[in-house]
């Protein structure tokens, strides 16, 4: 009976709680805003930021200031967007779980149930297949969207 129980050390993994969402949203918005501001930085700002970074990490002295600021901005935009996206997805998932706790209607819930079985019969392979199916579905939808966007751009000319 105790074989399925996790020790406290094993259970200290990545704990995701709804109370962490405001901090994630605030951090994501701040980082995203910082990246967007740096994306169109002038030469003086680029040189100053590059100087700060090259002083701390001499290997960055080989990178041009304009390229460095663009890469830094892209990294900040990516990180901020990922934090906001994660917070949004977590809150959406938590809402559905709160409404329908016993029956898994949507695929993320089915993945959750397949991984976290209450009786110790987790089915990770099923969760992997469901996640892959979601990734394929998103790729198909984004490809269709890009096609339609290109098609609509012709009409606007």
pLDDT in tens, 26-46: 887 888 888 888 888 899 999
**Residue ranges covered by each domain of the chain:** 18-99, 101-157
Q: Structure pTM? A: 0.52
Helices within 2-123 (DSSP H only): 21-39, 43-56, 65-99, 107-115
Q: Could you tell me the CA-to-CA distances from 105 to 4, 20, 52, 93, 131 in Å, in that order? A: 27, 25, 51, 12, 15
pLDDT in tens, 109-144: 777 778 877 666 678 888 888 888 888 888 888 888
């Amino acid at each position: 009976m105790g074989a399925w129980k996790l020790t406290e050390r094993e259970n200290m993994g990545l704990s995701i709680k709804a109370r962490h969402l405001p901090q994630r949203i605030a951090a994501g918005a701040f980082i995203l805003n910082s990246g967007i501001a740096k994306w169109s930085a002038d030469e003086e700002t680029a040189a100053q930021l590059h100087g700060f970074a090259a002083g701390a990490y001499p290997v960055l002295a080989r990178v041009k200031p304009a390229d460095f600021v663009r890469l830094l901005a892209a990294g900040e935009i990516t990180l901020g967007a990922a934090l906001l996206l994660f917070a949004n997805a977590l809150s959406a998932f938590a809402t559905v779980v709160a409404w329908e706790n016993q029956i898994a209607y949507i695929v993320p819930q089915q993945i959750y149930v397949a991984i976290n079985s209450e009786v110790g019969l987790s089915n990770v392979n099923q969760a992997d297949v469901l996640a892959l199916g979601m990734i394929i579905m998103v790729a198909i939808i984004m490809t269709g969207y890009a096609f339609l966007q290109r098609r609509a751009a012709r009409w606007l000319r």
